[in-house]
Amino acid sequence: MIKATFPHMGTFHIPMKSLLSNLGFQPIVPPPTSQKTIAIGTELSPEFACLPFKVNLGNYIEAIANGAELILMAGGVGPCRFGYYSQVQGRALAGAGYSAKLVTLEAPNADLSELYRKIKKYIPRHSIWDITQALHVFWTKARAIDKFDQLANKIRAREKNLGAITKIQNQFYKALDNTAILKEIDRVFNQALTGLDSIQLVPEAKPLKIMLLGEIYMVLEHRVNFRIEEQLGHMGVDVKRSIYLSDWIEEHFSPLHINKSRWHLSKLARPYLDSHVGGHGLESVAHGIEAGVNRMDGIIQLAPFTCMPEIVAMAPLTAISNDFSIPVLHLIIDEHSGEAGIRTRLEAFVDLLKHRKDKITMKQLSI
Ligand code: SF4
């Protein structure tokens, strides 16, 4: 059985582990990303590589230490460094003496048959039906996580006992990770929803509404964003995340999917940015406008240091901030960022938004 690994990105390992098992691999999930992971990856990376590159490289090396012999990495197209990530990572690993094979899986919207050929080589005995079934479980798990997280983000700002939702969330992730069949996934999901239903809320709470947008890895990976959704929730913020893993899967892995969402976002962003700038730069601008139009209280942009698409998105976001009178916090994170520094900036931003909201309410009351 081939021992296969992949990079961490939030809770991606839960559906991915199922997918690999169902396809006959032995999944080697890298240890959770830590400071050590980041240090290992940084040491082998070019200095100006973006943070996700470095962290992923660290994930591979830790997984290789646990026996991984095959690394699966997504490829990409477009004006961003992601397209040649895996080639450079492969060379860095080979240069350091690692013999694990790194296979780049180009997003199927680039070439579906190529992806199939690449996978088939490693799973010759699996039929298309087996692969479809494995993908179905993968998708159902990813969808369940996203639906749960969306709800959790909404109500965390109102929870009476701080941490109660996070506890249910972690139990849900663990239970989901241990399930293998579709019926069980439904049961685990419904049980987690029942848990959320039982959470005691503060009825008079008036949460701030913040749009969390930016580069996908930074938005989804809890370790590098210092569990920003949880931190904000505990500060009384209803967080609307701009991107979920299942959105990305749908966009790239559903051959029949007509990309209405991307078309819609391009149209929305057009007055401020009229071309695709790679990564999720255009989406960041579109979601910034969405936050302004919906009169949300603020926007937080998460970007890795040197991320070109998010740097491009910064100027339009500043214009959106002025036009819609909505404050924006740009958080640029690299391997030297620390939780205390990020927390201080979040607290200051949330304080500013609270004062602003109180002032607006007072003004409206005195009219
Ligand atoms: S979007 Fe930014 S962080 Fe992600 S690969 Fe491209 S340049 Fe790097």
Check: CB of residue 289 under 8 Å from CB of residue 265.
Answer: no
Does residue 49 fall inside a structural domain? yes
Ranking 43-47, 114-118, 161-165 by mean pLDDT, the lowest is: 114-118
Which of 287, 300, 297, 292 has its CA nearest to residue 333?
Answer: 300
Of 344 and 106, the one with more pLDDT: 344
Compute the Cα dihedral for 356, 359, 363, 364 and give only its sign.
positive
Q: Pick the residue whose CA is nearest to atom 7 on ligand 1.
A: 307
Domain identity same for 21 and 114:
yes
Given a cut of 60, is residue 255 above it in pLDDT?
Answer: no
Residue 252 lies in a domain: no
Task: Count the domains in the chain.
Answer: 2
Rounded distance, CA 63 to CA 40, Å? 12
Exposure string over 201-232, b if 16+ CB within 10 A, otherwise e: eeeeeebbbbbbbbbbbbbbbbebbbebbbbb
The per-residue pLDDT for range 310-339, each reduced to its tens digit, is 999 999 999 999 999 999 999 999 999 999
Residue 57 and residue 106 share a domain: yes
> What integer pLDDT is reported at residue 335 of this predicted model?
93
Ligand 1, residue 215: give the atom nearest the CA: 1
Say if residue 348's pLDDT is above 90: yes
Same domain membership, residue 190 and residue 131:
yes
Question: Could you tell me if residue 291 is inside a domain?
Answer: no
Residue 320 lies in a domain: no
Claim to verify: residue 120 and residue 146 sit in the same structural domain? no
> Within this chain, do residues 95 and 195 fall inside the same structural domain, yes or no?
no
The predicted structure's pLDDT at residue 136: 92
Does pLDDT of 34 surpass 70? yes
Residues 6+ apart with CB under 8 A from 295: 326
Q: Are residues 90 and 50 in the same domain?
A: yes
pLDDT digit string (tens) for 212-227?
A: 999 999 999 999 999 9
Q: At what angle do helices 13-22 and 128-156 cross, to 10 degrees?
A: 170
Q: Which atom of ligand 1 is nearest to the CA of 76?
A: 5
Kind of pairing, strands 237-241 and 3-5? unpaired
What spacing in Å lies between the alpha carbon of 216 and ligand 1's midpoint? 9
> What distance, in Å, lies between the first and last C-alpha atoms of the chain?
72
293 belongs to a structural domain: no
pLDDT at 94: 95
Q: Assess whether the C-beta atom of 309 lies below 6 angstroms from ligand 1.
A: yes
Are 100 and 193 members of one domain?
A: no
Q: Is the CB of 307 under 6 A from ligand 1?
A: yes
Helix spans in the chain (H): 13-22, 35-44, 51-65, 85-95, 112-120, 128-156, 164-177, 182-197, 216-220, 228-234, 245-253, 260-269, 281-293, 308-324, 339-366
How does DSSP assign 37-104, residue by residue? HHHHHHHHS-TTS-HHHHHHHHHHHHHHHTT--EEEEE---SSSGGGGHHHHHHHHHHHTT---EEEE
Helix axes 85-95 and 35-44, enclosed angle (nearest 10): 90
| Any atom of ligand 1 within 6 Å of the Cβ of 13 | no
Q: Indicate whether 116 pLDDT > 90.
A: no
Q: Are 303 and 310 in contact (CB under 8 A)?
A: yes
pLDDT in tens, 137-165: 999 999 999 999 999 999 999 999 999 99
Strand partners, 4: 27, 70
Percent of the chain, pLDDT > 90? 76
User: Average model confidence (pLDDT) for the chain?
Assistant: 91
pLDDT surpasses 60 at 209: yes
**Could you tell me if residue 280 is inside a domain?**
no
Backbone angles phi, psi at 305, to 5 degrees: -55, 135
pLDDT bin (cut points 50, 70, 90) of residue 253 is low
Residues 117 and 147 in one domain: no
Domain span at 71: 3-125
**What pLDDT was estimated at residue 204?**
92
Q: Report yes or no: 92 and 58 within 8 Å, Cβ to Cβ.
A: no
φ, ψ of residue 162 to 5 degrees: the values are: -55, 130
- Residue 68: CATH number of its domain: 3.40.50
Is the minimum distance from the CB of 279 to ligand 1 under 6 angstroms?
A: yes
Token digits of residue 156: 């965390």
Query: For residues 37 and 43, what is the distance between their CA atoms, to the nearest angstrom?
Result: 10
Residue that finishes a domain, picked among 169, 203, 237: 203
Q: Which protein residue has the closest C-alpha to ligand 1 atom 3?
A: 307
> Which secondary-structure segment (H or E) carries 212?
strand 208-214
Distance of alpha carbon 127 from alpha carbon 135, whole angstroms = 12
In a shared domain, residues 150 and 174:
yes
- Same domain membership, residue 171 and residue 61: no
Q: Which range among 71-75, 108-112, 161-165, 300-304 shows the weakest confidence by mean pLDDT?
A: 108-112
Which amino acid appears at position 287 of this protein?
Answer: H
Whose alpha carbon is nearest atom 2 of ligand 1? 307
Tokens of 317: 């976001």
- The whole-number pLDDT of residue 257 equals 55
304 lines ligand 1 (CB under 6 A): yes
Which residue in the block uniquely carries the two structure tokens 């139009």?
Answer: 293
pTM (two decimals): 0.93
36, 97: one domain:
yes
> Parallel, antiparallel, or unpaired: how do β-strands 26-27 and 3-5 relate?
parallel
Q: Which of 216, 308, 332 to mutate to test the pocket of ligand 1 (most atoms within 8 A of CB)?
A: 308
Cα 278 to ligand 1 centre (Å): 8
